[in-house]
Structure 1
Amino acid sequence: MSVRKQFRTALCGLALTGVVVTTAQGPAAATPVVDGAAKVSAVAAAEDAAARSMARSLADSAWRAEAGRAVAGGKEIGLKALADTSRTGAAASLVADVAAADSSVLAAKGLTASTGGLLTVTLTGAVDSRRAPLVAVAPSDDEAAAVTAYDTQGRAHALDPSRTPDVPVYVIGIDGDKAVEAGMKVLDRELAARGVATAATPAASPATTTAAAAGTGFWTSRITSVRLNDDKEPWIKGDAEIFSIVSGFGLDGKVRVDTVTHPYLNNDGTTYYPNQILVNWSQYKYNLADVVMMEDDGDTNYSALAKAIATALLTIADLGAYIPLVDPVVDAIPSSFWTDDADFVDAWYTLSRETTGTRDGAGGNGRFTFDRYWVSAL
């Protein structure tokens, strides 16, 4: 999951509590400080390797000053872009390590190289201090009591989440919005490849397309407002990356899945008014569909998620009456996706084309307000 703007602010509440481990030998040896034999995800390991490498590179004062200017004011920028545009020797040595870390992140999330780099960096803490900076990564454990940060010698320090640091702290994270956008394309494409109709499926033939959609337009369900009680995102990790999986039976009677991203849905306890289309009813046979809302917690492998959902849904046949698909979708999610991965947020059963007004999710965590919206053909 990305380390978003709220984490940058929250990290101002951290303090250096002391050296925990000794200097690492290099990026390949990077190992986050974890409790016992806790498993470290591939994404967390890549972020950690990039953080160690970035920390060592900041021993160069010219590069440190350049990096500080680039992220001044809390700006979040791509780590690869930052290193690539510098002419300092320290940045040049960092480029290869960042490329390797980005490649590992993309592979772990089931994304292609065309997605581009996902690692980001920002600066917080005592940004005006002349002390050597630290480089930190948000912990993968939502309940972590400390944040690991590295100094310019590669030594790891534990940061206390309850106290303010007196040193500048660079934070390495993931561009979550970019990852989710790319992930939805992978999900659509791979579900379609496995036989589940999606937005990536070739358009239906005129014979199976409704007259309304083919001629004058089509009806949709539009989200006029949405609110979450809990976005499944701990405060230390910042903004949530929310997406929905809409499922039902297509015009051919086979299961269909459409994905919708909600990039505006950053915080729980806040009502948003997106006027966003959730369901295009011209694609569905029964004028009924289900919605499962999820949050990408960082390690989501979209290819694996597509495979799991397709395997579950392709066993369901159209028997002439609508069958709710929420439970098969939720049950298909691998158990590893319930840790620091794609979190279940809430679900809405059997939305209809006529659904309007406010609908609470089945789990009581989310609330949508809908209206019917006609999309006219051009």
Structure 2
Amino acid sequence: MRFPRILFAGIIASTVMSSCSNSEELNYQSESGLLNVDQQVNKKEVALELIDLMKNQSFKTKTLHLLENQEPSVPLSKVLDESASFVGKSTSYQNLATKASKLESFANEGTPDKIEILELWMLNSNKTKDFSNVLFSFAPEGDEKNWSVIEAYNMNKEVVYLDVNKVPDQPVIVVETNGFETLKREVALMNEYLRKEGVQNSRFEKLGNNLSDLNSRAQGLETTKLDKIRLNDDEEAWISGAAEVYAITSGIKDSSNSPEIKVIPMYYLDHDKRDYYPNQILLFWDDYEYQAANIQLFEKDDNTNYKDLVSTIVNGVFQIIGTVSTQPWVNVLGQVAGAIIQAMPNSWYTNNDDYVDSFYTIEKNKSYSNYYGARGNAKVNLSPFFVASN
């Protein structure tokens, strides 16, 4: 099971992003059928072609090794690249390589409305080393509440129907298009939009989130870092896999009550009922005029367009921002956090970006131990952390 994929969310800002009007950009129609404006990647087709390749013992051994030793997922392009010498001339290999390449190129060129990158992950609940009965599957489309069974295929391409809620005993290789790699690209684009709209400084653009980069600054930094985090059970289907988690932090950056916003991915945070110790910086206090900031949590799911998400929150927040320039900053901090929640889609709990929890008014120079969010769904340890200059 996975828990909700998180956003540490705060204020998001500015004008509606323009959508892509050139349908040819979204029309990657190969001879085997890939993606067009009205059609998602055919994951069943990918699974069946993968089965063809897995009949080659060398390919199977290499692929299983990759899936056993890399979490939460492995890009399909990496699987294919490392096994090209085994099956590179086969039709299935060429079809899959074309699909994977086109999707990755599409995701990395410009600002596409929808990002999908083919990845694989493996469920092996019993930690078996016997993969003779391995299955191949993919998450159904649509609202998770309406899923009745999970469709899977064995090595003979025979259909096997699995229980939505009961984790299967045998290993299952899952085709994913909205996983870890997709998250990385979406986060990069969201931060790019925020910088363009003037609600994020260039710290991440120049430095990323690496302490080694931060140490190269001429002066030290006062920050707050996440020492520990744990989430409760989300009661979602096993086929949804590990969470793709990112964070948006927010604060007030000047006397006009203007927002400062960052999106921070949390790639390590992929299962519920488990403690994680990331030692990850979340708040950069130099970015804020005042010594408090909000942290809000959401789940990133497959059916929400990242542009639509940012645009919706932007519009909701700016309706508030236009009326609060003369109010006390601490009031504004709370109002903006509320505006974000109000702006989110009504379909939070139908496999969209789901609201998980909120941490309001996190203070500079203050430690928080086993600190629950407002909903009691997330528990964190936070501590002040000074990054000294070299």
**TM norm. shorter chain > 0.5:** yes
Who is 1:18 aligned against? none
Equivalent position to 2:59, from 48, 59, 67:
67
Amino acid at match of 1:230: D
How far is the alpha carbon of 1:93 from its aligned partner?
A: 3.4
- Tell me if 1:272 matches 2:279: no
Alignment partner, residue 318 of structure 1: 325
User: Is contact 1:291–1:349 with CA below 8 Å preserved after alignment?
Assistant: yes
Q: Distance in 1 between matches of 2:124 and 2:251?
A: 45
Alignment match, 1:329: 340
Aligned match for 1:360, one of 358, 363, 372: 372
2:139 is matched with 138
Give the structure, 1 or 2, with the largest relative contact order (CA under 8 Å, sep 6 or more).
Answer: 2
Residue 263 of structure 1 deviates from its aligned partner by: 2.0
**Equivalence for 1:188:** 191
Moved more, 254-263 or 117-126: 117-126
1:362 Cα deviation after fit: 0.9
The worse-fitting range, judged by mean Cα deviation, of 268-277 and 68-77 is 68-77
* Residue pairs, 1:169-184, within 5 angstroms: 169-174=172-177, 176-184=179-187
Task: For 1:344 and 1:284, locate their aligned partners in 2 and report how far apart those are by CA, in whole Å.
Answer: 25
Spell out, residue by residue over 1:233-275, the C-alpha distance to the aligned partner (whole angstroms, 9 max, x if none).
5444232222221112113631111122222222222222222
| C-alpha displacement of 1:119 | 2.5
Aligned to 2:26: none
The RMSD of aligned alpha carbons is 4.0
Change in CA separation of 1:280 and 1:148 when aligned onto 2, cut-off 3 Å: same
1:1-378 correspondence to structure 2 within 5 Å: 28=33, 45-46=40-41, 49-56=42-49, 58-59=51-52, 64-73=56-65, 74-75=67-68, 76-84=73-81, 85=84, 86-89=87-90, 90-99=92-101, 110=112, 117-120=117-120, 122=122, 128=130, 134-140=135-141, 141-143=143-145, 144-150=147-153, 156-161=159-164, 162=166, 169-174=172-177, 176-199=179-202, 216-230=219-233, 234-251=237-254, 253=256, 254-315=258-319, 316=321, 317-322=324-329, 323=332, 324=334, 325-336=336-347, 338-358=349-369, 359-378=371-390
Q: CA deviation at 1:96?
A: 3.0
The answer to whether the 8 A contact 1:56-1:154 is kept is: no
User: Matches of 2:299 and 2:167 in 1, distance apart?
Assistant: 29
Q: CA deviation at 1:72?
A: 2.1
Contact 1:191 1:307 in 2 (8 A): no
TM-score, L = length of structure 2: 0.69
Name the aligned partner's letter for residue 341 of structure 1: N
Count of residue pairs brought into register by the alignment: 326
Residue by residue over 1:111-143, the C-alpha shift from the partner in whole angstroms, topping out at 9 and shown as x without a partner, is 788xx9442254869985767x75310335434
5+ unaligned residues in a row in structure 2: which ranges? 3-30, 207-216
Task: Find the aligned partners of 2:269 and 2:167 in 1 and give their Cα distance.
Answer: 29
What is the TM-score normalised by the length of structure 1?
Answer: 0.71
In terms of fraction of residues, the more strand-rich structure is 1
What is the distance in 1 between the residues matched to 2:337 and 2:305?
20
Name stretches of at least 5 consecutive residues in structure 1 with no aligned partner. 3-25, 31-40, 204-213
